[in-house]
Structure formats: structure tokens, C-alpha cells
């Protein structure tokens, strides 16, 4: 128990520092400016979310969100009567020292892990503020309602902090990406969570038990680690989106504890949007939350039917370029392989080459193509492909029967017709792009390896399908060259 008491000292020092750094004596004018900043900031957050939902307005949405956050910070600096600014300056410097290299050095393909790290920092901040608030109050003086909210803030914050770090480790392959399981794991995990909840209830009734607050925090942080252990690396994007929701809720709880309206609003928006995104991702993969959290999905399954010899037709770049040039309409279906090969700029060149020949080219976007929400939109936008050429799954599917060529570039699961009829398939029920209904299908991939779900794709064995074996960047480059040379 001694270490628990000893560990409280640095926390007390932290809360003392916060107390001395702030002195709440703002004038009426300052409070008015703060409220105005908060109001405009909150409106901008809502507009940002609306604009971010469409590629044509996404940049505007991003800027609106940033201005909203700047207003929230400025409003707080003016209205909270802060007299000693040095702690805040140190915080901004440390944050910038970590954030700027993260933004500049981590590549586009590392966005999922970068997001995991940002959530970890946000959740750490929320839990530290909660912990500081607890130790700042004289022992036993926190009313039960505030104590309950404080516990929720620290529970969600601490588990999101450690959980997001684990997610980062798995995505960056610092930790093993495979699901790590042991017998009785779920019971063990629920015992940790149960321990944290019981501690929180005891604390609400006895807020003077300062040592128990530390036990509670440690249990919450441990639960975050245990929650992520059994989840495979490939399922991390969905988990990160869920952790995003937790971090948002934690920030919202922090807003209640600190009586800060903009925190309540921003946290609630973050929590709700993270949850909605997780639901959209689960639906698009036809998976449930419990299956993602406890399903240990993402391990490659044994080959489906041994013995049965099926053949595929393959073609070279020259033949494929001839077919593409002669087509009236082509739909390009990008997937994870395009992201891995970083082929998006070559794909833009292909779009230009075909458009020049009078071919109508569109891009079919599946909601979970790639490994993170909006993965394909981000890459194609980076390559400056016109937004109006990107068509969502629900809108493009009815067009496939009239399409001359569906060109699949590094996509696999999102085009597998087994999802429509094979009840034994792990992807059964997942909505797919109906590329098999196009007149001709071409698939660029390196070999016959399965995709994320680990299942064979029957699309490759259709009579109308031509396999173009090769790395996406190289093969698309060859197609562009051949189309350019063809007359
Ligand atoms: P996929 O099913 O994972 O297939 C990707 C294909 O790309 C592989 O079959 C691979 O075949 C090929 N490939 C890899 N590197 C390549 C390269 N350099 N050049 C050419 N091809 C390459 O991808 P998807 O169709 O995009 O489907 C996404 C999957 O991820 C879905 O199952 C989805 O449920 C899951 N998921 C998505 C998200 C999300 O938010 N987007 C989150 C979690 C899970 P070869 O090795 O033979 O080349």
C-alpha cells in the first residue's frame, strides 16, 4: 500500500501546479467573450462534421474544425482568468514537438496508427485532468454526482490511453499483430472491469478513500491493455474508431466536472461520431461489435477446398490496354493493394490516358476498402482525381451491368460475390461492389493470395475475368504506357 500513498505525491504536485496556474477571477466582459467564442466554436464543430462527410467539402470541414478549436482555446485563455501562462506555453511546446514530426514524418499509409496515438494523448490528458481534480479537492469533499462523473471520465480516459497505445503497437507491428488469447480471457477481463466499477461505486460513497482512486485508475488502464490483446491488427481501425468514441465521452465528462460547456459539446460530438463510424464500419463488414471485440478475427484461414483445381485467365499489359482503350465505360475499383503499392498517382495517369481516348471513367468506392474509413477517398484525393468521379457503392452498383470493364486494383474482399450467396463464408452478408456484373472484369494483384478476410475470391475464376498479375504501381504504369502508345 505504501507505493500507492507515495504515488499520490506527484499527483498532488500536478494539481497544485494547475491550481497556481489558474485564478478564476474573470470580468463580465471576459466571460462574455469566452461564451461567444464557445458558441461560435460549437457551431463550427457541427458544421465541420457535416462538411467532412463529403469529399468536396472535406477540406472546408477540416478548416472549420480547426478554427472552432482555436476559438475554444482563445476563449478559455481570456475567460478563465489565467494569470500564469508558462505551464500552458510549456504544454503547447511539448505538444508541438510531438505533433509536428508525427504529421510530417508518418506516411499516408500510417494514418491509422497516427490516429491511435492522437487518441492516446487526448485520453491521457482527460484522465490526468480528472486525477488532478480529485487530488486537488480536500479529501472527501467531492459530491457523489461529481465523483461518479469523475470516475467515468478517468475510467474511459485511462482505458482509452492504454488501449490506443496497444492499437498503435499492433498497427506499427511493434507488438505481435495476431490476436493474443488465453483460456478464461473474457472472464479475467470482466473481473478487471468489474473491479474498476466496484471501486468507482465505493469511491462515490466514500470519496475520502484517496488510495482507492489510484487502484481504480490502475485497473482501468489495465483493462485497456487486456481489451486490445485478443484483437487482431487488421481489426484495429474499427477498434480505434470505438476508442475515439470513448475518448470523446471522457472529454465530455471532463466538461461536466470542470463546468466547461465547449468541452461537453466537443466531447459529445466526438463520442457520437466515433460510435456512428464504428457502427458504419461493422455494418459494411457485416460484423457485430462483439465479433470485432471478442472474435479474434483476421487470422488467415486454411485454404477452402483442397484438391479442386480451378483455372484463371491471365493477360499482359498490352492486351489489357487494348481492351480498355476500346471500352466506352470503365469503372476502377481501388482497394488495399493500391494503398500498399502507393499506386494512386499512376491511377490518375491511367484516368487521364483513358479520358483522353473518350472513355467514361468512374471510381467505385466501397466503405471499408483498404484499412481505414475513407482510405480510398483520401488516396484518390491526394492524387487529385476529380471528386465527382468517385461514386459510392450504393450508387454505382446498379450501373455495373452497363459497364464495359470493371478494373479492380488491389481490391479483393469488397468484390467477392461469395458475400452474396455463400452462407459458409466469413464475409457472407457483407455488402460488396457488384463488379462481376460488368461485361469484362480485370484484376490487378500480385498473385492469388487472399485479402483481409482470408478467403478465396470466386470472381477470379469467372469466364469474363482477366487477371493482370503484378504490383499495382508497376502494372498501372505499364497500362498507361501501352494506352499512350496505342493509336
Ligand atoms: P483486401 O481484401 O485486404 O485485399 C487486398 C488485396 O490487395 C490482396 O488480395 C493482395 O493480393 C492485393 N495486394 C497487396 N499488395 C499489393 C500490391 N502491391 N499490388 C497489387 N495488389 C496488392 O482489400 P479490400 O478489397 O480493400 O478489402 C478491405 C478489407 O479490409 C475488407 O475485408 C474489410 O472488411 C477489411 N477492413 C477494412 C477496414 C476499413 O476501415 N477500410 C477496417 C478493418 C478491416 P496479392 O497479395 O495477391 O497481391
Q: What pLDDT band is residue 83 in, cutting at 50, 70 and 90? A: low
Query: Which string of DSSP letters, residue by residue, matches 208-255?
Result: T-HHHHHHHHHHHHHHHHHHHTTS-GGGHHHHHHHHHHHHHHHHHHHH
pLDDT of residue 237: 78
Q: What pLDDT band is residue 24 in, cutting at 50, 70 and 90? A: low
Q: Which of 413, 429, 434 should be mutated for ligand 1, with most atoms under 8 A from CB? A: 413
Nearest CA to ligand 1 atom 1: 451
Q: Say what percent of the chain tops pLDDT 90.
A: 61
Ligand 1 atom at minimal distance to the Cα of residue 450: 9
Q: What pLDDT band is residue 338 in, cutting at 50, 70 and 90? A: very high
pLDDT of residue 180: 86
Ligand 1 centroid – CA 409 distance (Å): 10
Q: Residues 257-305: pLDDT tens digits?
A: 988 999 999 999 999 999 998 888 888 877 777 777 766 554 444 444 4
Q: Which residues in 218-368 belong to E strands, given as ranges?
A: 313-314, 329-334, 360-365
pLDDT of residue 84: 75
pLDDT of residue 353: 96
Q: Which of 179, 299, 337 should be mutated for ligand 1, with most atoms under 8 A from CB? A: 337
Q: What is the pairing mode between strands 405-409 and 329-334?
A: parallel
pLDDT of residue 344: 95
* Residue 442: DSSP 8-state: E
Q: What is the mean pLDDT of the chain?
A: 88
Q: Which residues line ligand 1 (CB under 6 A)?
A: 234-235, 237-238, 281, 285, 335-337, 340-341, 368-373, 375, 410-414, 444-447, 449-453, 471-472
pLDDT of residue 303: 44
Q: Residues 224-250: pLDDT tens digits?
A: 999 998 887 767 778 888 898 999 999
Distance CA 355, CA 236 (A): 38
Helices (H) then strands (E): counts for the chain: 18, 7
Quick check: 433 and 396 in contact, CB under 8 A?
yes
What are the residue numbers of the active site? 413
Say which residue, 173 or 393, is predicted with more confidence: 393
How many C-beta atoms surround the C-beta of residue 269 within 10 A? 19
pTM: 0.77
Ligand 1 centroid – CA 416 distance (Å): 12
Ligand 1 centroid – CA 303 distance (Å): 17
Distance CA 391, CA 385 (A): 12
Ligand 1 atom at minimal distance to the Cα of residue 369: 26
Q: Residues 134-170: pLDDT tens digits?
A: 998 887 889 999 999 999 999 999 999 999 999 999 8
Quick check: 167 and 241 in contact, CB under 8 A?
no
Q: Say what percent of the chain tops pLDDT 70.
A: 91
Q: Which of 412, 458, 479 should be mutated for ligand 1, with most atoms under 8 A from CB? A: 412
Q: What pLDDT band is residue 192 in, cutting at 50, 70 and 90? A: very high
Nearest CA to ligand 1 atom 33: 368
Ligand 1 centroid – CA 109 distance (Å): 13
Ligand 1 centroid – CA 80 distance (Å): 49
Q: Residues 420-457: pLDDT tens digits?
A: 999 888 788 889 999 999 999 999 999 999 988 888 99
Q: What pLDDT band is residue 14 in, cutting at 50, 70 and 90? A: very low
Amino acid at each position: 500500500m505504501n507505493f500507492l500513498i507515495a504515488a499520490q505525491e506527484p499527483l498532488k504536485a500536478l494539481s497544485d501546479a494547475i491550481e497556481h496556474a489558474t485564478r478564476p477571477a474573470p470580468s463580465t466582459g471576459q466571460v462574455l467573450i469566452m461564451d461567444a467564442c464557445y458558441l461560435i466554436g460549437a457551431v463550427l464543430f457541427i458544421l465541420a462534421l457535416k462538411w467532412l462527410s463529403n469529399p468536396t467539402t472535406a477540406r472546408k470541414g477540416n478548416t472549420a474544425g480547426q478554427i472552432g478549436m482555436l476559438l475554444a482555446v482563445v476563449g478559455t485563455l481570456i475567460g478563465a482568468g489565467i494569470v500564469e501562462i508558462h505551464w500552458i506555453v510549456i504544454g503547447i511546446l511539448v505538444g508541438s514537438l510531438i505533433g509536428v514530426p508525427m504529421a510530417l514524418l508518418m506516411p499516408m499509409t500510417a494514418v491509422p496508427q497516427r490516429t491511435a496515438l492522437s487518441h492516446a494523448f487526448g485520453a491521457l490528458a482527460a484522465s490526468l485532468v480528472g486525477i488532478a481534480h480529485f487530488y486537488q479537492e480536500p479529501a472527501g469533499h467531492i459530491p457523489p454526482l461529481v465523483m461518479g462523473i469523475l470516475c467515468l471520465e478517468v475510467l474511459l480516459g485511462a482505458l482509452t490511453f492504454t488501449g490506443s497505445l496497444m492499437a498503435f503497437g499492433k498497427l506499427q507491428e511493434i507488438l505481435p499483430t495476431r490476436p493474443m488469447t488465453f483460456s478464461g480471457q473474457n472472464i479475467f477481463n470482466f473481473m478487471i472491469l468489474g473491479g474498476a466499477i466496484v471501486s468507482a461505486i465505493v469511491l462515490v460513497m466514500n470519496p475520502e478513500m484517496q488510495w482507492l482512486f489510484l487502484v481504480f485508475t490502475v485497473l482501468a488502464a489495465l483493462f485497456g491493455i487486456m481489451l486490445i490483446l485478443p484483437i487482431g491488427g487488421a481489426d484495429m481501425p474499427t477498434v480505434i474508431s470505438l476508442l475515439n468514441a470513448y475518448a470523446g465521452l471522457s472529454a465530455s465528462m471532463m466538461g461536466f466536472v470542470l463546468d466547461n460547456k465547449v468541452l461537453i459539446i466537443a466531447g459529445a460530438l466526438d463520442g457520437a461520431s466515433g460510435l456512428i463510424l464504428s457502427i458504419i464500419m461493422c455494418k459494411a463488414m457485416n460484423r457485430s461489435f462483439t465479433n470485432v471485440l471478442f472474435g479474434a478475427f483476421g487470422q488467415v484461414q486454411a485454404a477452402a477446398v483442397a484438391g479442386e483445381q480451378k483455372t484463371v485467365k491471365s493477360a499482359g499489359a498490352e492486351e489489357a490496354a487494348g481492351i480498355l482503350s476500346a471500352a466506352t465505360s470503365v469503372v476502377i475499383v481501388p482497394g488495399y493493394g493500391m494503398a500498399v503499392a502507393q499506386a494512386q498517382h499512376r491511377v490518375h495517369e491511367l484516368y487521364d490516358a483513358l479520358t483522353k481516348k473518350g472513355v467514361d471513367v468512374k471510381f467505385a468506392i466501397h466503405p471499408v476498402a483498404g484499412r481505414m474509413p475513407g482510405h480510398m477517398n483520401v488516396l484518390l484525393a491526394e492524387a487529385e482525381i476529380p471528386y465527382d468521379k468517385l461514386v459510392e457503392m450504393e450508387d454505382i452498383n446498379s450501373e455495373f451491368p452497363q459497364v464495359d470493364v470493371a478494373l479492380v486494383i488491389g481490391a479483393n474482399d469488397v468484390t467477392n460475390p461469395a458475400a452474396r450467396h455463400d452462407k459458409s463464408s466469413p464475409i457472407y452478408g457483407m455488402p460488396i461492389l457488384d463488379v462481376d456484373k460488368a461485361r469484362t472484369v480485370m484484376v490487378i494483384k500480385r498473385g492469388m493470395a487472399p485479402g483481409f478476410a482470408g478467403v478465396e475470391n470466386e470472381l477470379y475464376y469467372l469466364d469474363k475475368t482477366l487477371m493482370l498479375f503484378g504490383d499495382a504501381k508497376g502494372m498501372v504504369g505499364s497500362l498507361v504506357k501501352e494506352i499512350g502508345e496505342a493509336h
